[in-house]
Structure 1
């Protein structure tokens, strides 16, 4: 006998179960939020204007580096708040909140993260990949909350 057309192999089924479990878990949001907070805390402030000749050019380049400290702290705090909403027992609302803030992070910092790769910085791209993963996980849970593995 052949397997039904809608059956999923066992290894694929366990991967789908893991993704479904992660979409109601606060851990992906905590990972992104804490990574953003740490990135914001570790980034240095630009030096004040007039410290050395030509400093305004250096400062304008430093300000153009994304994600900025304010961006890291804002999006990090928002993702941690969304993780708290999920932890507090509202996985659908928390998923929607985290989807929205992860998508906004990608809109604000996504293009600059690819450009920073050419400057030898990998962390902005890694943060964008985390945000993309969170947007995918939580977006699926928010827009299709009733989908379960039984329907696959």
Structure 2
């Protein structure tokens, strides 16, 4: 079993790097570049087939917007502002969970895994960067 102190040290190390934000932002941009649209075919009553399209959350605009915001936060961290970048990434990851978290849980029951995986990444980013922003030695509350 690993030492709890070493887990906290690992989280502190990851919170000083832009890597988690790059992974989450890149994943969102990839999801936005290839959106999932389902087609359901209604019954044909007279020769024509009606096709309905249902967009599954997260939407393309949501993925591209939140992905760009997380990549901007990664750039802020890379540019030498790790505390401000952590706060920025914490805020945008939390906003992603507020907007898309409920739909990602429902998507599991529909057989879609990627929305839940994106929400897990957002939760991880919120945890990692929230710890850095609020409880770090150089954070805003110290």
Given the alignment, which residue of 45, 50, 55 partners 1:54?
Answer: 50
Q: In structure 1, list runs of 5 or more residues that go unmatched.
A: 1-8, 148-152
Given the alignment, which residue of 5, 18, 26 partners 2:18?
Answer: 26
Number of matched residues?
A: 130
Alpha-carbon RMSD: 2.0
Deviations 1:82-124 (A, max 9, x none): 0010011100100000000000000000000011111100000
Tell me by how many angstroms 1:13 deviates.
2.1
| Higher RCO (Cα < 8 Å, 6 or more apart) | 1
Q: Is 1:105 aligned to 2:101, yes or no?
A: no
Instruction: Give runs of aligned pairs for residues 76-95 of structure 1, distance below 5 A.
Output: 76-95=67-86
Given the alignment, which residue of 32, 41, 53 partners 1:40?
Answer: 32
Equivalent position of 1:125 in the other structure: 116
Distance 1:70 1:46, change over 3 A: farther
- Report the Cα distance in structure 1 between the residues aligned to 2:32 and 2:62, rounded to whole angstroms: 8
Q: In structure 2, list runs of 5 or more residues that go unmatched.
A: 40-47
Structure with the bigger percentage of strand? 2
Equivalent position of 2:45 in the other structure: none
- Report the Cα distance in structure 2 between the residues aligned to 1:54 and 1:117, rounded to whole angstroms: 27
Equivalent position of 1:15 in the other structure: 7
Structure with the bigger percentage of helix? 1
Scaled by the length of structure 2, what TM-score is found? 0.84
